[in-house]
Amino acid sequence: MLTLIGQRFLLSLVLLFAVSVMIFGGLEALPGDFATTYLGQSATPQAVANIRKDLGLDRPITTRYVEWLGNAVQGDFGTSWASRNSVSEQIGKRLGNSLFLGGFAALIAVPLAVGLGMVSVLFRDRLPDKIINVVSLAAISLPEFFIGYLLILFFAVKFGVATFPSTVYDSMGFLERLKAIALPTATLVLVVLAHMMRMTRAAILSVMSSAYMETAELKGVSSWRAIIKHAAPNALAPIINVVALNLAYLVVGVVVVEVVFVYPGMGQYMVDAVTVRDMPVVQACGLIFAAVYIFLNMVADILAIIANPRLRHPR
pLDDT band at 296 (very low <50, low <70, confident <90, very high): confident
Q: What is residue 284's predicted lDDT score, i.e. its pLDDT?
A: 92
Q: What is the pTM of this model?
A: 0.80
Which domains are delineated in the chain? 87-312 (1.10.3720.10)
What is the Cα–Cα distance from 176 to 164, expressed in whole angstroms? 10
Q: What is residue 18's predicted lDDT score, i.e. its pLDDT?
A: 94
Residue type, 288: I
Looking at the predicted structure, is the pLDDT value of residue 182 above 70? Answer: yes
Looking at the predicted structure, is the pLDDT value of residue 297 above 80? Answer: yes
How crowded is residue 166: how many other Cβ atoms within 10 Å of its Cβ? 13
Average pLDDT, the chain: 82
Q: pLDDT exceeding 70 applies to what percent of the chain?
A: 90
pLDDT band at 177 (very low <50, low <70, confident <90, very high): confident
Q: What is the mean pLDDT of residues 136-162?
A: 83
Looking at the predicted structure, is the pLDDT value of residue 21 above 90? Answer: yes
What is the Cα–Cα distance from 164 to 80, expressed in whole angstroms? 27
Least trusted range by pLDDT, from 110-114, 118-122, 126-130, 238-242: 238-242
Q: Is 309 or 97 the better-scoring residue by pLDDT?
A: 97
pLDDT band at 38 (very low <50, low <70, confident <90, very high): low
Q: What is residue 169's predicted lDDT score, i.e. its pLDDT?
A: 63
